[in-house]
Amino acid sequence: MIGITDASLSFGTLQMFAGLSVDVPQGRTTAILGPNGRGKTTLLRSILGFQSLDRGRRHTPHIVGYVPQHSASQAKLAGLEVVTMGRAARLGLFGQPGPDDTEAARAALVQVGACHLADLRYDRMSGGQRQMILIARALATGSDALVLDEPTSALDLGNQARTLSLIAGLGRARERAILFTTHDPNHALAVADDVVLMMPGGAVVHGPVAQMVTPDLMAELYGVPMRWVRPDGPNGRIAMLPEFTGKDALCA
C-alpha cells in the first residue's frame, strides 16, 4: 500500500539506509522508532516522495493523509477551513471548495472528536487542538494512507494520550495503512502492529512489534539499559522504561 523497495539514500559520506524495503499494507499500523537524528523523518519523507532516493522505488499513492511534525500554518483561519484544505487534491488548480468539501471536512472533525474546534482560529489553538485539526485534515483527504511525523513530540501527557487513542482507534478500524514516527517504544507498543527500527550504524530492521520491541533491541537502539514494567493485577499493561542509574549524569 505505502512504502519503498530496495531503497538507498546517503548524504555525502553519511549513509541513511541501503537496500531497504518497507511496506505498510492496508489495515496495518507501523511505527518508525529511533532516537533523535537517526533519520526517522528522512525515511518518512523518502516514503512520501518529499526526499528523492539515490536508488530504489517508492510505492505511495498520489494522495496521502499527512500530518507534519509542525505545521507552518500560522494562518488566522478557522479550524474548519484548515481541515477543508485536505480536499485540495480533488479541486484542481483553479477549483474552490464547495458544500461537499465542507461536509467532508465536518465529517473528519466528527471522526477525531473535534467538532468544537470548527470555528476556533487555528493560530489561537493549543498544540493538542492543532494536532487534532491536522489529523482531521489528513482524514479529509479521503486517502487510505495516513502518515504522521512524530505526532506526539510537542504534546503534554494528556494530549499524547488523546492523540495515541485516536491513532489506535483509526488502526483498529483496519481501513487504512498508518505509518508514524516516534521516539517512544511505549507508543509503538500501544498503537502499532509493526515497527521499523533505525539502528546505530545506519542499519534498519523491521518486523512485528511483539518481536522487535524487546529490552535488548531497545537498549541497542537507544544506548541505555531498558526493562519491562509490569503493573500489578491482571489488567496491568506492560510498558518499557530505561534504567535510571544516575551514573551517566556524573562527570568522570
Q: Minimal CA–CA distance to 67: which of 7, 119, 108?
A: 108
Q: Which residue shows C-alpha cell 526517522?
A: 40
Q: How many CB atoms lie within 10 A of CB 249?
A: 7
Least separation in angstroms between residue 8's CB and other proteins is 20
Size of the site for other proteins (CB under 8 A): 32
Among positions 8, 15, 42, 71, the unique one binding other proteins when judged by CB under 8 A:
71
Pick one of 26, 75, 200, 224: the residue that binds other proteins (CB under 8 A). Answer: 75
CB of 237 to other proteins, least distance (A): 33
Instruction: Tell the smallest beta-carbon distance from residue 224 to other proteins (Å).
Output: 31
Under the binding rule (CB under 8 A), the answer on residue 66 touching other proteins is: yes
- SS3 state of residue 31: strand
- Given a contact cutoff of 8 angstroms between Cβ atoms, the answer to whether 177 and 146 are in contact is yes
Whole-angstrom distance, CA of residue 97 vs CA of residue 89: 11
**Which of these ranges, 25-33, 76-84, 164-172, 196-204, lies near other proteins under the rule CB under 8 A?**
76-84
Can you tell me the distance from the alpha carbon of 230 to that of 113, in angstroms, rounded to the nearest whole number?
31
User: How does DSSP assign 33-63, residue by residue?
Assistant: E--TTSSHHHHHHHHHTSS--SEEEEE--SS
What residue type is assigned to position 198 of the chain?
A: M
Among 30, 141, 152, 182, binds other proteins (CB under 8 A): 141
The only residue of 12, 13, 14, 62 in contact with other proteins, by rule CB under 8 A: 62
Cβ proximity to other proteins, 69 vs 214, nearer residue? 69
Give the Cα separation of 63 and 152 in Å (integer): 23
Our CA angle for 201, 204, 206, nearest 5°, is 150
Q: Give least dist CB 225 to other proteins, A.
A: 36
Where is 164: in which H helix or E strand?
helix 157-172
Does residue number 37 form part of the binding site for other proteins (CB under 8 A)?
no
68 part of the interface to other proteins, by CB under 8 A: yes
The 83-112 site mask, x for binding other proteins (CB under 8 A), equals --xx-xxxx-xxxxx---------------
The secondary element (H helix, E strand) that includes residue 187 is helix 185-191
Q: Residues 146 to 175: which contact other proteins by CB under 8 A?
A: 147
Binding to other proteins by residue 1, rule CB under 8 A?
no
Give residue 210's region: left, alpha or beta (phi > 0; psi -120 to 50).
alpha
- Determine if 11 is a binding residue for other proteins (CB under 8 A): no
Any contact of residue 49 with other proteins (CB under 8 A)?
yes
Kindly list the residues in this chain that would bind other proteins in the complex (CB under 8 A): 45, 48-50, 62-66, 68, 70-73, 75-77, 81, 85-86, 88-91, 93-97, 119, 141, 147
